[in-house]
C-alpha cells in the first residue's frame, strides 16, 4: 500500500486550478498607471516595510530594453536594486515587483501562510503584462522562487525575449530527484507548519537581510515546487514560448537540487538547442544560495553581478 501511495504521488498530474488571463499594457502611459496603482495600494498597507515596495526605474518613456527582476522567497524587491541600477545605467527601464505576501514589517514570515502557485502565476502574468508597456524587448530575471516563476513564464509567454532563471527553486537540495514529486504531494496534503530558516537562531539569523523573513510556512515553499511541476508538464508537450532561456546554477548551492534543474534543461533541449544557454558558478567560489543580495555575509556581488551582466548580454545576442 505504501508503494502504491508513493507511485500515485509520483505521477499525480499538476495543473493550475484556475486559468490565468493576460492583459498586456498597450502603452508606456498605461504601464505607468498600473504601476502607480500598485504603489498606491502598497502605500495604504499599514504593515508593509517601507524598504520593500515595488520598484520602477524609468527613463520617462518606453525604451528598447526592459528588465523585470523577480526576487526570491521571503525576500523583497530591494534584493535586486543594485543590479537593477546597473541595468538602468545601461539604458534599460527596470521593473522590480513585489511577490504576493512578501515585504511586511513583521519579518517572522507568518504572512506567507496560504500562498499558492496560482497566485505566483497571476503575479508573473501581471508583471509581464506591465512590462509590455515599458520596453520593446523584455528580459525576465528571477532568483530562487523568482527563478521558478521565471521558468513558468518562459514556458507560457511568447512576449519574453529572454528568461533568466538564477538558481531556480525547482527541487530541494537534500531531497533526491526521484522523491521530489511524491514529497511535494505529501507536504501539500498534510497540515501546514511554520519553520525557521535557522531553528537555533530564529529571529537572530545574521545571514538574512534585515528586510527578509526569518521563517516561512512549508506549504508556501512547496507551492513554488508545484509551479515547477506545472511548468514541467507543459514543457513535455511543447517548446517554451520565450525567445530564449538562460539557466544559471551554483555548484555550491545549499538549497536547490541542481539535478532537478538539469532535468528541466533536458526537457527543453528535446525541443532544440538554439534557445537554451546554461552557466554554473564554480563550487570553489563558495557562493551562498542567495548570490544576489549584496549585503550577504558570504556573497561576492562584484564578481557575480559582472558575470551575470556578461552572460545575459551574450544570451540576448546569440
Strands 55-57 and 135-143, bridge-based pairing: unpaired
CATH code assigned at 197: 3.40.50.1820
Is 117 part of a structural domain of the chain? yes
Contacts of 91 (CB under 8 A, 6+ apart): 59, 63, 64, 65
Q: Which three cell numbers stand for residue 135?
A: 520596453
Is 4 part of a structural domain of the chain? no
Number of domains, the chain: 1
Decide: 130 and 101 in contact? Cβ < 8 Å: no
Phi, psi (rounded to 5 degrees) for 5: -65, -40
Higher local confidence (pLDDT), 238 or 150: 150
Is 215 part of a structural domain of the chain? yes
Is 13 part of a structural domain of the chain? no
DSSP letter (8 states) at residue 256: B
Is 56 part of a structural domain of the chain? yes
Cα 99 from Cα 282, distance rounded (Å): 29
Nearest to 169 by CA among 252, 261, 233: 261
What integer pLDDT is reported at residue 1 of this predicted model?
Answer: 64
Is 15 part of a structural domain of the chain? no
Helices 258-269 + 177-189 axis angle, to 10: 110
Write b or e for each residue in 125-150: b if 16 or more Cβ atoms lie within 10 A of its Cβ, otherwise e.
bbbbbbbbbbbebbbbbbbbbbbbbb
Is 1 part of a structural domain of the chain? no
Tell me the per-residue pLDDT of 26-63, one tens digit each, with 9 for 90 and over. Answer: 999 999 999 999 999 999 999 999 999 999 999 999 99
How high is the mean pLDDT of the chain?
Answer: 94
Tell me the per-residue pLDDT of 76-121, one tens digit each, with 9 for 90 and over. Answer: 999 999 999 999 999 999 999 999 999 999 999 999 999 999 999 9
Total number of residues shown for the chain? 318
Query: Which residue range is the domain that position 193 belongs to?
Result: 22-317
What integer pLDDT is reported at residue 17 of this predicted model?
Answer: 81
- pLDDT score of 75 more than 70: yes
Tell me the per-residue pLDDT of 180-212, one tens digit each, with 9 for 90 and over. Answer: 988 999 899 899 999 999 999 999 998 899 999
Tell me the per-residue pLDDT of 306-316, one tens digit each, with 9 for 90 and over. Answer: 999 999 999 98
DSSP one-letter string for 60-106: SS-EEEEEEEEPPTT--GGGGHHHHHHHHTTT-EEEEPPPTT--BS-
**C-alpha 234 chain-centroid distance:** 18
Is 297 part of a structural domain of the chain? yes
pLDDT band at 229 (very low <50, low <70, confident <90, very high): very high
Cα 242 from Cα 139, distance rounded (Å): 10
Which region holds residue 234: left if phi is over 0, alpha if psi is between -120 and 50, else beta? alpha
Amino acid at each position: 500500500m505504501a508503494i502504491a501511495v508513493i507511485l500515485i504521488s509520483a505521477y499525480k498530474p499538476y495543473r493550475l486550478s484556475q486559468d490565468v488571463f493576460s492583459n498586456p499594457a498597450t502603452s508606456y502611459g498605461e504601464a505607468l498607471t498600473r504601476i502607480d496603482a500598485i504603489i498606491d495600494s502598497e502605500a495604504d498597507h499599514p504593515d508593509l516595510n517601507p524598504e520593500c515596495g515595488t520598484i520602477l526605474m524609468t527613463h520617462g518613456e518606453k525604451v528598447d530594453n526592459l528588465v523585470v527582476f523577480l526576487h526570491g522567497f521571503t525576500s523583497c524587491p530591494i534584493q535586486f536594486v543594485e543590479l537593477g541600477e546597473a541595468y538602468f545605467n545601461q539604458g534599460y527601464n527596470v521593473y522590480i515587483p513585489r511577490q504576493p505576501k512578501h515585504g511586511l514589517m513583521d519579518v517572522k514570515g507568518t504572512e506567507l501562510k496560504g500562498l499558492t502557485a496560482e497566485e505566483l502565476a497571476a503575479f508573473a502574468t501581471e508583471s509581464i503584462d506591465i512590462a509590455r508597456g515599458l520596453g520593446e524587448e523584455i528580459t525576465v530575471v528571477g532568483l530562487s522562487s523568482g527563478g521558478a516563476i521565471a521558468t513558468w513564464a518562459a514556458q507560457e509567454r511568447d512576449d519574453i525575449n529572454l528568461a533568466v532563471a538564477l538558481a531556480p527553486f525547482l527541487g530541494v537540495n537534500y531531497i533526491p530527484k526521484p522523491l521530489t514529486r511524491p514529497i511535494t504531494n505529501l507536504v501539500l496534503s498534510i497540515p501546514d507548519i511554520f519553520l525557521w530558516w535557522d531553528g537555533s537562531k530564529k529571529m537572530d539569523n545574521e545571514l538574512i537581510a534585515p528586510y527578509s523573513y526569518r521563517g516561512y510556512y512549508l506549504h508556501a515553499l512547496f507551492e513554488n515546487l508545484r509551479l515547477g511541476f506545472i511548468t514541467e508538464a507543459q514543457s513535455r508537450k511543447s517548446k517554451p514560448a520565450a525567445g530564449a532561456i538562460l539557466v544559471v546554477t551554483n555548484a555550491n548551492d545549499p538549497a536547490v537540487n541542481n539535478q532537478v534543474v538539469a532535468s528541466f534543461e533536458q526537457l527543453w533541449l528535446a525541443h532544440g538547442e538554439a534557445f537554451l544557454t546554461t552557466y554554473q558558478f564554480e563550487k570553489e567560489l563558495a557562493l551562498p544560495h542567495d548570490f544576489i543580495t549584496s549585503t550577504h555575509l558570504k556573497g561576492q556581488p562584484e564578481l557575480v553581478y559582472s558575470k551575470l551582466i556578461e552572460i545575459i548580454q551574450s544570451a540576448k545576442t546569440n
